[in-house]
Chain A
Amino acid sequence: MTDQLLNLACGLFLLTAIGVLWRRELSALIALLTVQGLALTGIAAVLAVGHSTETMVVAVGVGLLKAGLLPWLLRRVLTQVPGARETAPLVNVSASMLAAAGLVLLAYVAARPLVELAPTAAAQAAPVGIAVVLIGFFLATTRRRAISQIIGVMLIDNGIAAVAFLATGGVPLVVELGVSADLLLAVLVLQVLTTRLHAAFGDTDLDELRELHD
């Protein structure tokens, strides 16, 4: 039963990452990110059941932060640029999907030694975390909007957290909180940046920043 739940949570975790690549509306992206945060919380919670209270605390913390605070902040950013869409990503959506497929395969192959070390259900799902990290990097590299890019960075963070949970059964509370604090800072900086960008150029396309260079 635990294994089934874990598989379900991991599947949801990966699917949301792929969904982030698939959708163009930034509001949908944030909704997907919220779901992903819940899935990550689910993974942590399933692993924590019957293990330690510290992991359970981490799970709750992760849930509050990733499914609550960060999406809320992003949504606040989005209210300043209503109806924003990722209109012309550097790599088109179909090609992104194929790239995602390739990255998932790569993650699967690369994580093979890890899985063989400890053939538990949790370790077997570790490639999912690696795949989400790769997809996050891909998203951050190929999208133009500042919000999409920060979402990419958050996918990377979620992926790393998932790998840590799945491979080791939990991360120390301090580490997780430290990483999340960094991320929080990044989101706040982004919020300021987006607001300024919007005020200066009427747009949040990061390529516009090149003009500052000249």
Chain B
Amino acid sequence: MNQVGSALSLAFGLAGVGALAGLVAPARWRSLAAGAAIAAVGAAGAAAGFAVVSGTGWQVSLPDLLPLAGVSLSADALAGWFLLLIGGVAAVVGVYTVGYAGRSGHGPASRAALAVLPVFVAAMLLVPVAASVSTFLLAWELMAVTSLLLVLGEHRHSPAVRTAGLWYAAMTQAGFVAVLLGLVWLAAAAGGESFAVIRAAGPGLSPVVAGGVFLLCVAGFASKAGAVPLHPWLPRAHAEAPSHVSALMSAAMVKLGVYGIVRVGFDLLGGGPRWWWLLLGGLGAVSALYGILQAAVATDLKRLLAFSTSENVGLILLGLAAAGLWADAGQPAVAGVALAAALLHAANHAGFKTLLFCGAGSVLRATGTRDLDVLGGLSRRMPATTLLFTVGALGAAALPPGNGFVSEWLLLQALLHRAPAAGTVITVAAPVAVAVVALTAGIGVAAYVKALGTGFLARPRSTAAASAVESPPSMLAGMGLAAVVCAGLAVAPAVSAPALDRIATGLNAGTAPLAGGGVDVRLSGIASTISPLWIAVGVVGLAVGYAAAARALGRTRRRAAAWDCGDGPLTPRMEYTATSFAEPLQRVFDNVLAPEQDVDVTHPAESAYLVRAVQYRRRLPDRVEARLYRPLIAAADTVGRAARLLATGSVHRYLAYMLGALVAVLVAGVIR
């Protein structure tokens, strides 16, 4: 057992200890015990991941742990990347949980809610190292069930949590069934259930089997990743779950859907024909655009962040699709860049989304609301949280020098590459994809300016926001750690070059995508360069330099009332809210968002020409949900009602059904 094995054993052992501690520790110490356990599990997982991406391989087979199939684990560079990502997120969230779920905190501090957390983290760590179909499915289901329990953490307080739990349970199980069918079909076709056997048989599979497996797995994994149109659980679950759980789910768990697609598509099946990747790219493009549009018009801070997760998953899927297409077109170098962009964006998203969900949790703890329309004025009351949220928002908006910018730059580089020999489809798809990424980035900037500007700046628009106080140190420490990681990823993404190289080589999808470490990111096969460090130094250096010079000159500023058009003092009611900020965008994209508006004008009895009151209501329902899922649910409901005729409550009748079924099976066997 090498260091990877020891680190992982330590992680799983600690998870057990943490779960136990969460169950038995007195209420006073419970959040500390659970938080410390999660942080430790995460740190151990991250250490294992770091060792793996640095080149240490590991595999183990435990045939006796489970009946029939046993458990087999192994770690290659791809698994290591996701171990590092999940471990890092868990370590940060663990620190945050100590304060968030603590006595003065806001999150649920019940035994169950805290004891399940370490198990959930351990399950997430188990997924990427699973090396056989049965182990993978087991870990996947364990992750799904524990996350469902965590989403329901605050079910006593609000019915919305119960609805969210129901959506999540239904969709995650449907996704599991799709993955189960796909992987079992694959194992049957390959003649063995261990990934090594499948990998060897993968390229020889018939196109029908490979295509079918790919479709089923993409459906299942994309629903876990929250890609549109398989996303409706995501804005509900992420918004209603306790914030540290939202952070874990959005930053880490969702990425395992991406992992699944990479593992099955590139590794087990060994790449595929063009239509696979065009389909995946279409899914990514729709997710990115629809997700960010919904985020831009959302007024619930956590719903905004959740839809932005759909958007980022869409961008990652676009990167994977580009990698598949370029590999299919015989351009391995560009395929490597696209894959690197997708994986780096997954890491960046994990970084800033952890930070943002924790920031949203701090706001929720301080004010008790997630509604951006009634927030505001937090920058004076919670300066540290505001600063940390700004760092996250800078990354999420993909602006330089934030961390999201580098991966979007990489993605654009992979899409901008021109290879006339690659065929008409790529020539047409590439500019469309570029336009999608650009529009997504543009609206993303608007969405995060809204989140930061209407949520944290100006004056408070409610008493709850006015009475906000800064978060306890452990929450700030957790967010601070995440911010440091974001900053590191932003200025020195080149340090990940060897790891990305190992992954690309291991998957036969391109070689050494990022050449040259140090300050600049150079690409193989594309002649563009970016120096994230110089960008950061330039912007920050010039700004700080100027500010210092101005301070040295000793000119002060005077405060005075803002311009109120000469009509009394300004009130917070006159401020732009999140709704009003997003109104122009909503009107521009009216056809896509289809808002429901109604205006009621009531007249006094004496005359129909006078107006007593005007009532204006607007709702922005999730259109995909309303158009796609409501009919499905209605149909399922109808079938269910019809089936109820079979169940009259008579025991004799039920026994007769069983007898009939048994006889039918036997007769069928005889006839055959």
Near A by CB (< 8 A), chain B positions 420-445 give: 424-425, 428, 432
User: Does B646 sit at the interface, judged by CB under 8 A?
Assistant: no
Whether the Cβ atoms of A112 and B588 lie closer than 8 Å is no
Q: Are the C-beta atoms of A94 and B588 separated by less than 8 Å?
A: yes
User: What are the interface flags for A156-176 relative to B under an 8 Å C-beta threshold, 1 for contact and 0 otherwise?
Assistant: 000000000000000000000
**A108–B429 alpha-carbon span in the complex (Å):** 12
Indicate if the CB atoms of B591 and A109 lie closer than 8 Å.
no
Q: Closest A-chain residue to B592, C-beta based?
A: A95
Q: Which residues from chain A contact B588 at a C-beta distance below 8 Å? A: 94
* A24 to B588 Cα, complex, angstroms: 18
Residue in A92, A94, A95, A109 whose beta carbon sits within 8 Å of that of B428 in the complex: A109
Give every chain A residue within 8 A of B424 (Cβ-Cβ). Answer: 108-109, 112
Residue of A nearest to B425 (CB): A109
Chain B positions within 8 Å of A94 at CB level: 588
- Judge if A179 is at the interface, Cβ distance under 8 Å: no
- Whether A105 and B428, one on each chain, are in contact in the complex, defined by CB atoms closer than 8 angstroms, is yes
User: CB-nearest residue of chain A relative to B424?
Assistant: A112
Q: Closest Cβ of chain A: how far from B419's Cβ, in Å?
A: 16
Cβ–Cβ < 8 Å partners of B591 in chain A: 92, 95
User: Which residues 79-133 in A have Cβ within 8 Å of B in the complex?
Assistant: 92, 94-95, 105, 108-109, 112
Residues in B whose Cβ lies below 8 Å from that of A108? 424, 428
Write out the residue numbers on chain B whose beta carbons fall within 8 Å of the beta carbon of A109: 424-425, 428
In the complex, chain B residues whose CB is within 8 Å of the CB of A112: 424
Determine the chain B residues whose CB is within 8 A of the CB of A92 once the complex forms.
Answer: 591
Q: How far is the CA of A38 from the CA of B425 in the complex (A)?
A: 33
Report the bound CA distance from A94 to B432 in whole Å.
Answer: 16
Please measure, in the bound complex, the distance between the C-alpha atom of A4 and the C-alpha atom of B424, giving whole angstroms: 24
A95→B432 CA distance, assembly (Å)? 15
Min CB distance, A111 to chain B, in Å? 10
Complex CA gap A109/B278 in Å reads 15
State the CA gap A94–B588 with chains docked (Å).
9
Closest residue on chain A to residue B431 by CB atoms: A105
Report how far A165 CA is from B443 CA in the complex, Å: 43
Q: Which residues on A sit within 8 Å (CB–CB) of B425?
A: 109
Min Cβ gap B90→A in Å is 43
Interface of A is mostly: helix
The count of chain A contact residues (Cβ–Cβ below 8 Å) is 7
Chain A 56-98 residues near chain B, CB threshold 8 A: 92, 94-95
Q: Mark B273-290, 1 if CB is under 8 A from A, else 0.
A: 000000000000000000
Q: Which residues of the partner chain B approach A95 to less than 8 Å between Cβ atoms?
A: 591
Q: Which residue of chain A has the shortest Cβ distance to B432 in the bound complex?
A: A105
Q: How far is the CA of A105 from the CA of B434 in the complex (A)?
A: 14
Q: Nearest chain-B residue to A115 (Cβ)?
A: B424
Q: Which of chain A's residues has its CB closest to B423's CB?
A: A112
Whose C-beta in chain A lies nearest to the C-beta of B591?
A95
CA distance A138 to B432 in the complex (A): 20
In Å, the complex CA distance between A112 and B428 comes to: 11
Question: How close is A112's CB to chain B, nearest CB, in angstroms?
Answer: 5
* Contacts of B70-115 to chain A: CB distance below 8 A: none
Chain A CB count within 10 A is highest, among B424, B588, B591, for B424
> In the assembled complex, how far is the CB of residue B118 from the closest CB belonging to chain A, in whole angstroms?
49
Q: Which chain A residue has the least Cβ–Cβ distance from B435?
A: A101
Residue of B nearest to A106 (CB): B428
With both chains docked as a complex, state the minimum distance between the C-beta of B329 and any C-beta of chain A, in angstroms: 16
CA distance A108 to B431 in the complex (A): 13
B433 CB to nearest chain A CB (Å): 12
Q: What's the Cα separation between A109 and B591 when bound, in Å?
A: 27
A112 to B427, CA, bound (A): 11
Alpha-carbon separation in the docked complex, A109 to B424 (Å): 6
Whole-angstrom distance from the CB of B590 to the nearest CB of chain A?
9
Task: State the CA gap A94–B592 with chains docked (Å).
Answer: 13
Distance in Å: Cβ of A185 to nearest Cβ of chain B: 37
A44, B425: Cα distance in complex, Å: 31
In the bound assembly, the distance between CA atoms of A189 and B410 in angstroms comes to: 58
Distance between Cα atoms of A94 and B428 in the complex (Å): 21
Distance in angstroms from A11 CB to nearest chain B CB is: 17
Report A-chain residues with C-beta under 8 Å of the C-beta of B428: 105, 108-109
Q: Find the B residue at minimum CB distance from A113.
A: B424
Interchain nearest-CB distance for B445 vs A (Å): 20
Query: Smallest CB–CB gap between B259 and chain A, Å?
Result: 33
What's the Cα separation between A112 and B420 when bound, in Å? 13
Nearest chain B CB to A117 CB, angstrom units: 14
Question: With the chains together, A101 CA to B53 CA distance in Å?
Answer: 44
Tell me the nearest residue of chain B to A98, going by C-beta: B435
Interface flags for A4-20 (1: CB within 8 Å of B; 0: not) read 00000000000000000
Question: What separation, in Å, do the CA atoms of A92 and B587 have in the docked complex?
Answer: 12
In chain B between 589 and 613, which residues have their CB closer than 8 angstroms to a CB of chain A?
Answer: 591
In this complex, what residue of A is CB-closest to B429? A105
Least Cβ–Cβ distance between B315 and chain A, in angstroms: 20
A95 to chain B, nearest CB (A): 6
Bound together, the chains give a CA A186 to CA B424 distance in angstroms of 38
Q: How far is the CA of A105 from the CA of B429 in the complex (A)?
A: 9
Residues of chain B contacted by A105 (CB below 8 angstroms): 428, 432
A185 to B428, CA, bound (A): 39
Shortest beta-carbon distance from A90 to chain B in Å: 12
A112 CA to B424 CA, complexed, in Å:
8
Chain B, residues 489-514, CB within 8 Å of chain A (1/0): the string is 00000000000000000000000000
Using Cβ atoms and an 8 Å threshold, which residues of chain A touch B432?
105
Q: How far is the CB of B436 from chain A (nearest CB, A)?
A: 12
What is the minimal beta-carbon distance from A103 to any residue of chain B, in angstroms? 12
Give the distance in Å from the alpha carbon of A150 to the alpha carbon of B270 in the complex.
Answer: 54
For the complex, give the distance between the alpha carbons of A92 and B428 in Å. 25
Q: Which chain B residue lies CB-closest to A92? A: B591
Q: In the complex the two chains form, what is the Cα distance from A185 to B425 in whole Å?
A: 41
Please give the distance in Å from B23's CB to the nearest CB on chain A. 57
Please give me the residue from chain B that is nearest to A116 by CB atom.
B424
A14-32 residues with Cβ-Cβ distance < 8 A to B are none
Q: How far is the CA of A102 from the CA of B432 in the complex (A)?
A: 9
Q: How far is the CB of A213 from chain B (nearest CB, A)?
A: 28
**A94: nearest chain-B partner, CB-CB:** B588
Task: Name the residue on B nearest A111 (C-beta).
Answer: B424
User: In whole angstroms, how far apart are the Cα atoms of A95 and B589 in the complex?
Assistant: 10
B443 to chain A, nearest CB (A): 15
Closest Cβ neighbor of B588 among chain A residues: A94
Bound-state CA distance A112–B588 (Å) is: 34
Contact with B along A134-151 (1 / 0, CB 8 A): 000000000000000000
Q: How far is the CB of B310 from chain A (nearest CB, A)?
A: 22
Min CB distance B27 to A, Å, is 58
Interface string of B383-424 (1 = CB under 8 A from A): 000000000000000000000000000000000000000001
The complex places the Cα of A92 from the Cα of B591 at a distance, in Å, of 9
Q: How far is the CA of A94 from the CA of B585 in the complex (A)?
A: 13
A92 to B589, CA, bound (A): 11
Give the complex CA separation of A38 and B615 in angstroms.
Answer: 55
Q: Shortest Cβ distance from B425 into chain A, in angstroms?
A: 7
| Mask: chain A, 169-210; 1 = CB below 8 Å from B; 0 = not | 000000000000000000000000000000000000000000
Residue of B nearest to A112 (CB): B424
Q: What's the nearest-Cβ distance from chain A to residue B366, in Å?
A: 41
What is the CB-to-nearest-CB distance from A138 to chain B, in angstroms, rounded to a whole number? Answer: 16
**Complex: A31 Cα to B428 Cα, angstroms:** 32
| Alpha-carbon separation in the docked complex, A70 to B468 (Å) | 71
* A108 CA to B427 CA, complexed, in Å: 10
Q: List 11 A-B contacts (CB under 8 A).
A: A92-B591, A94-B588, A95-B591, A105-B428, A105-B432, A108-B424, A108-B428, A109-B424, A109-B425, A109-B428, A112-B424
Q: A109-B425, A112-B424 are in contact. List 9 more A-B contacts (CB 8 A).
A: A92-B591, A94-B588, A95-B591, A105-B428, A105-B432, A108-B424, A108-B428, A109-B424, A109-B428
Residues of B bordering A, CB below 8 Å: 424-425, 428, 432, 588, 591
The 4 closest A-B pairs by CB, nearest first: A112-B424, A105-B428, A109-B424, A109-B428
